[in-house]
Structure 1
Amino acid sequence: MGLRLKIGATITATAALAALVTGVQVPRLMEDRGRDQAMERLIVAERVYREDGRARFGLRINPSDAPDELRRTVRQGRRATYVQAYGDRRMIWAATWAGDDLLALKQFEDPLSDELQAGMFRAGAVGTAVATLIGLLLATRLGRRLRLSARRAEQITGGDLEARLPQSGRDEITTLTRAVNTMADALAERLRAERQVTANIAHELRTPVAGLVAAAGLLPDGRAESMVRERVARMRDLMEDVLEVARLDNGGEEADVRLVELGGLARRAIRAAETGQDVRLDIVADALVETDARRVERVLANLVSNALRHGSAPVVVEVEGGAVRVRDRGAGFPEHLLAHGPRRFQTGAVGTGLGLGMTIAAGQARVLGARLTFTNPEGGGACAVLDLSASVRDDARRNVPDEPPGG
Structure 2
Amino acid sequence: MNVGAKVALAVAAALCVAGSTGVLVHRITAADQLATARSDLDQELRSAAADLTDGRESRARIDPADLPGPVARAVRDDVRVTYLQDGGEHAVLWAASRVSDRRVLAVSRPYTPEEQALASLDRTLLVTGVVATVLVSLAGLLLGVRMGRRATAAARTAERIADGDLDARVRPDGRDEIARLAASVNAMADALGARLEAERRVTADIAHELRTPVAGMSTAVGLLPPGRASELVAGSVRKLRGLVEDVLEVARLDSQVAAVDTEQREVSAMTRRAVAGLDDARVQVRVMADAVVATDPRRVERILANLAANALRHGAPPVEVAADGPVVRVRDHGPGFPPDLLAVLHTSGPQRFRTGSRTGGTGLGLTIATGQARLLGARLTFRNHPDGGAEAELRLPTG
The TM-score with structure 1 as length reference comes to: 0.77
Q: Of residues 182, 186, 192 in structure 1, which corresponds to 2:187?
A: 182
| Residue identity matched to 2:367 | T
* Aligned-residue offset at 1:189: 0.9
The structural deviation recorded for 1:236 is 1.4
Residue 83 and residue 309 in structure 1: after superposition, are their counterparts in 2 closer, same or farther (change >3 A)?
farther
Query: Deviation of residue 40 (structure 1)?
Result: 5.6
Q: 2:203 aligns with which of 187, 198, 207?
A: 198
Match of 2:102 in 1: none
CA 43–146 in structure 1, closer or farther in 2 if over 3 Å, else same: same
Aligned-partner Cα distance in 2 for 1:387–1:6: 43
2:3 matched to which residue of 1? 3
Which residue is 1:25 aligned to? Answer: 24
Q: Given residue 320 of structure 1, which amino acid in structure 2 is its aligned partner?
A: D
Q: Secondary structure of the residue that 1:390 maps to in structure 2?
A: coil
CA–CA distance in structure 2, aligned partners of residues 106 and 380 of structure 1: 98
Listed as ranges, the matches of 1:102-121 within 5 Å are 108=111, 110-111=114-115, 117-118=122-123, 120-121=125-126
Specify which of 362, 374, 385 is matched with residue 366 of structure 1: 374
Deviation at 1:169, TM superposition (A): 2.6
Q: Which residue of 2 aligns with 1:249?
A: 254
- 3-state DSSP class of the match of 2:268? helix
For 2:393, which of 354, 378, 385 is the aligned residue? Answer: 385
User: Which is worse superposed, 124-133 or 276-285?
Assistant: 124-133
Aligned length: 382
SS at match of 1:389: coil
Is the 8 Å Cα contact of residues 15 and 127 (structure 1) preserved in structure 2? no
Q: What is the CA distance between 1:106 and its match in structure 2?
A: 8.6
CA distance in structure 2 between the partners assigned to 1:334 and 1:142 by the alignment: 35
Q: Paired residue for 2:314?
A: 310
Q: CA deviation at 1:250?
A: 0.7
Q: Is the 8 A contact 1:83 1:91 kept in 2?
A: yes
Offset, 1:195: 1.1
Unaligned runs of at least 5 residues, structure 2 = 63-67, 97-105
Residue correspondence of structure 1 range 323-338 to structure 2 within 5 A: 323-329=327-333, 330-332=335-337, 334-338=342-346
Which residue in the other structure is 2:241 paired with? 236
Q: CA deviation at 1:320?
A: 1.5
Higher mean alpha-carbon deviation, 380-389 vs 34-43, is at 34-43
For the pair shown, which has the larger CA radius of gyration, 1 or 2? 2
Offset at 1:230? 2.3
**Relative to 1, partners in 2 of residues 1:195 and 1:85: Cα closer, same or farther, differing over 3 Å?**
same
| Counterpart-to-counterpart distance in 1, 2:371 and 2:85 | 87
Residue pair 1:338, 1:374 contacting (<8 A) in 2 also:
yes
Alpha-carbon distance in 1 for matches of 2:351, 2:149: 30
Aligned-partner Cα distance in 1 for 2:355–2:93 = 86
Partner of 1:37: 36
When the two chains are superposed, the root-mean-square deviation of aligned CA atoms in Å is 4.2
2:293 aligned partner: 289
Structure 1, 361-370 or 325-334: larger mean CA deviation: 325-334
**What's the % identity of the aligned pairs?**
46
Q: Does the 8 Å CA contact 1:291/1:368 hold for their aligned counterparts?
A: yes
1:193 deviation in Å? 1.0
The amino acid of 1:8's aligned partner reads A
Q: CA deviation at 1:192?
A: 0.7
User: Could you tell me how far 1:281 is from its partner in structure 2?
Assistant: 1.0
User: Partner letter of residue 132 of structure 1?
Assistant: S
Could you tell me how far 1:168 is from its partner in structure 2? 2.3
What's 1:127 paired with?
132
Match of 1:341 in 2: 349
